[in-house]
Amino acid sequence: MGMWNRAAETMSRDEISRVQLEGVKKSLRRAWSNDFYSSRLKRAGFSAPEDFRSLDDLAKLPFMTKEDFREAYPLRMNCVPRADLREFHMSSGSTGTPVVMAYTKGDLLQWAECMARCFAMAGLEEGDAFQIMPTFGLFNGGFGCYHGCRKVGLFCVPASSGNTERQIKLMRDFRVKGFCSVVSYVPRIIEKLDAAPEGERDLPSLRVGIFGSETFSNELRRRIETRLGIECFDIYGMTETGGIGTTGQDCRAHCGIHVWEDQYITEIVDPSTGLPVEDGEYGEVVFTSLNREAMPVFRYRTHDISRIVSREKCACGRTSLRIDRITGRTDDMLIVKGVNFYPRQVEEALMEIPGVKDEFQIILEEHNGMTDVTVNVEADEGVTGHAVAKHLRERLGFLPKGDVFKPGTLPRSEGKAKRVIRKQV
Ligand SMILES: [Zn+2]
C-alpha cells in the first residue's frame, strides 16, 4: 500500500549494503576526475578510488561541509561535461556565499524518484490535485515538488508562496488533496479560514500536508491535523543532497523518517569529535550520496541533529532505516545558564499549555556574558505570564521572562518563521 518502488523500498540489509558499496565506488570513480574532490581525497590518504574496498572504509573519507560548496562556487564541484547539465538550484546561507547544486538528466530523475516515493508514502496517487507552496526559482522546493508531481502523475497546482487568500481559493476550487509548504505558514492559512464566512471555513478535499525545511513539534502537528482534517508528513532534504525529499520522509506509521538507503548512506556523528555515535544517541546527520552524478557528496555534514530510531523493518513494510524527525541544528542550539536546548523544545513546552496559540518568539539578550531569555507567546484571555513561565521552567530547567500577547499581535512572516531573536545589550 502506498509504495512507489517496492523493490527499492523493501531491500534486505544485505542487498542495501551491496548497493551502498557499489554506489560509493561508482561515485568515487566519478569524483576522482575532478581536482576539487581528488585533492581532498588524496590529502586523506586515498591514492585511487579503488582504495575504497568495503563500507568500513567510509570512516576514512574526509567530511564535506557547506564551506566546500561555497569555495567551489559556482561549478568547481561539477564532475560531468558542462553540456550534460540540465538545471541547478541554489541556497544562500547567513554568510551570503551561495551553495549551488547542479543536476544532470540522471540527477533530475533521481530527485523525481525520491519525491515520488515521498508522495506515494503520504497516500497520494495519480490524478490527485497537489498544491505546491514553496517558491519556484533558485530555491529547490518548488521545482522538486514539480518533478515529483510529473513522475507520479499528480494534478499540479503550482501556486508558489504567498497570497494566503488565493492559496485557499485554489485549494477549494481545484479540490486539492495534498499540499507542500513550510509548517510555519499553516497557522496563516488557519487564521484566514477561521475569519472566513460560515460555510467557507473548511477545505473538505484536503487530506495531506507535507512540510519541509523547518522543525516542528508533535503538538503543532496535532493541532494542524485536527483543525484541517489532514495527515501531516515531515519531508527531509537539502540543496547539498539534491533538494527536497532526497533524504526521505516519515511514513503513515509516523515513527521516524525513512531515509532512501539505496540513494544515501546515513551516519550520525558526535558534532564535536566527528566520531559515530551509538544507534539511539543524538548527533549530527551525515549523508553520502550513491547515485548523484554532477555533484556527489561524501560524508556531508548537515548540522542537523537527529538519531537512528531503528534499522528494523517498519510497520509500513519498508526496510530502510529511520531517523528521528530533526530536533534542531548544531548551530541553533541555545545555551542558557548551562542548560542546552533547541527552539523546538520551547515550542513543544508552549503547546502543552491550554489556550496557547502557535505564534511565539524567543528573545536572547546578552549582557556581561550572561544571557537573558524572554519567551513571548500569543494566547487566549486567561492564560497568565506566570503560568507560562512556570511551565517552561519545569520543562526546560530555567526560568525565562516573557509576556502573553493577544492572538494576532506578534509579528508575522510569510516564509520561514523567525523564532529566535538575538540582541546585544
Ligand atoms: Zn514506515
pLDDT in tens, 203-243: 999 999 999 877 778 888 999 999 999 999 999 999 999 99
Given a cut of 70, whether residue 162 has pLDDT beyond it is: yes
Q: What is the DSSP string of 213-261?
A: SS---HHHHHHHHHHHT-EEEEEEEEGGGTEEEEEEEE-TT-SSEEP-T
Q: How far is the CA of 216 from the centre of ligand 1 (A)?
A: 19
Threshold 0.85, pTM exceeds? no
Length of the chain: 425
Segment 244-266 shows an average pLDDT of 97
pLDDT in tens, 257-293: 999 999 999 999 988 889 999 999 889 999 999 999 9
pLDDT band at 425 (very low <50, low <70, confident <90, very high): low
Q: How far is the CA of 316 from the centre of ligand 1 (A)?
A: 4
Residue 133 CA to residue 206 CA, distance in Å, equals 14
Given a cut of 90, whether residue 95 has pLDDT beyond it is: no
What percent of the chain shows pLDDT beyond 90?
74
CA angle 319, 328, 318 (to 5 degrees): 10
**DSSP annotation of 325:** P
Q: How far is the CA of 254 from the centre of ligand 1 (A)?
A: 7
pLDDT in tens, 171-200: 999 999 999 999 989 999 999 999 999 999
Give Cα 351 to chain centroid, integer Å.
21
Q: How far is the CA of 38 from the centre of ligand 1 (A)?
A: 37
* Cell numbers for 359: 505564534
Segment 17-27 shows an average pLDDT of 98
- 334-424 to CATH, choices 2.40.160.20, 3.40.309.10, 3.40.50.720, 3.30.300.30: 3.30.300.30
Q: How far is the CA of 219 from the centre of ligand 1 (A)?
A: 21
pLDDT band at 117 (very low <50, low <70, confident <90, very high): very high
Q: How far is the CA of 155 from the centre of ligand 1 (A)?
A: 26
* Cell numbers for 360: 511565539
Q: How far is the CA of 130 from the centre of ligand 1 (A)?
A: 22
Q: How far is the CA of 352 from the centre of ligand 1 (A)?
A: 27
Q: How far is the CA of 324 from the centre of ligand 1 (A)?
A: 12
Largest Cα–Cα separation, the chain: 70
pLDDT at 110: 98
Q: How far is the CA of 278 from the centre of ligand 1 (A)?
A: 21
pLDDT band at 99 (very low <50, low <70, confident <90, very high): very high
Strands 155-157 and 98-104: unpaired
pLDDT at 343: 78
Q: How far is the CA of 119 from the centre of ligand 1 (A)?
A: 13
Give the residue, 296 or 282, on which the prediction is more confident. 296
pLDDT in tens, 316-348: 999 999 999 887 788 777 777 767 677 777 888
Q: How far is the CA of 312 from the centre of ligand 1 (A)?
A: 10
- If one counts every other C-beta atom within 10 angstroms of the C-beta of residue 250, the result is 24
Q: How far is the CA of 183 from the centre of ligand 1 (A)?
A: 21
pLDDT band at 417 (very low <50, low <70, confident <90, very high): low
Q: How far is the CA of 190 from the centre of ligand 1 (A)?
A: 29
Q: How far is the CA of 247 from the centre of ligand 1 (A)?
A: 14
Q: How far is the CA of 62 from the centre of ligand 1 (A)?
A: 31
Q: How far is the CA of 121 from the centre of ligand 1 (A)?
A: 9
Residue 135 CA to residue 284 CA, distance in Å, equals 28
CATH class name, domain 1-331: alpha beta
pLDDT band at 364 (very low <50, low <70, confident <90, very high): confident
Given a cut of 60, whether residue 94 has pLDDT beyond it is: no
Q: How far is the CA of 319 from the centre of ligand 1 (A)?
A: 8
Q: Point out the least confidently predicted range of 45-54, 89-98, 351-360.
A: 89-98
pLDDT band at 367 (very low <50, low <70, confident <90, very high): confident
pLDDT at 26: 98
pLDDT at 220: 86
Q: How far is the CA of 386 from the centre of ligand 1 (A)?
A: 41
pLDDT at 239: 96
Q: How far is the CA of 170 from the centre of ligand 1 (A)?
A: 31
Distances in whole angstroms, Cα of residue 18 to Cα of each of 22, 32, 53, 55, 60: 6, 21, 12, 9, 19
Q: How far is the CA of 317 from the centre of ligand 1 (A)?
A: 6
Q: How far is the CA of 54 from the centre of ligand 1 (A)?
A: 28
Segment 374-402 shows an average pLDDT of 88
Q: How far is the CA of 256 from the centre of ligand 1 (A)?
A: 8
pLDDT at 337: 72
Residue 359 half-sphere exposure toward CB, CA atoms < 13 A: 20
Q: How far is the CA of 127 from the centre of ligand 1 (A)?
A: 24
Given a cut of 90, whether residue 141 has pLDDT beyond it is: yes
Q: How far is the CA of 251 from the centre of ligand 1 (A)?
A: 5
Q: At what angle do helices 343-351 and 218-228 cross, to 10 degrees?
A: 50
Q: How far is the CA of 315 from the centre of ligand 1 (A)?
A: 6
Q: How far is the CA of 169 from the centre of ligand 1 (A)?
A: 33
Residue 177 CA to residue 158 CA, distance in Å, equals 14
Segment 295-315 shows an average pLDDT of 96
Domain parsing of the chain, residue ranges? 1-331, 334-424
Given a cut of 80, whether residue 371 has pLDDT beyond it is: no
Give the residue, 55 or 372, on which the prediction is more confident. 55
Q: How far is the CA of 300 from the centre of ligand 1 (A)?
A: 25
Considering only CA atoms, which of 216, 229, 269 is closest in space to residue 63? 269
If 0-12 CB within 10 Å is exposed, 13-18 middle and 19+ buried, where does residue 38 land? Answer: middle
> How would you classify residue 242: left for phi > 0, otherwise alpha for psi between -120 and 50, otherwise beta?
left
Q: How far is the CA of 313 from the centre of ligand 1 (A)?
A: 8
Topology agreement, domain 1-331 and domain 334-424: no
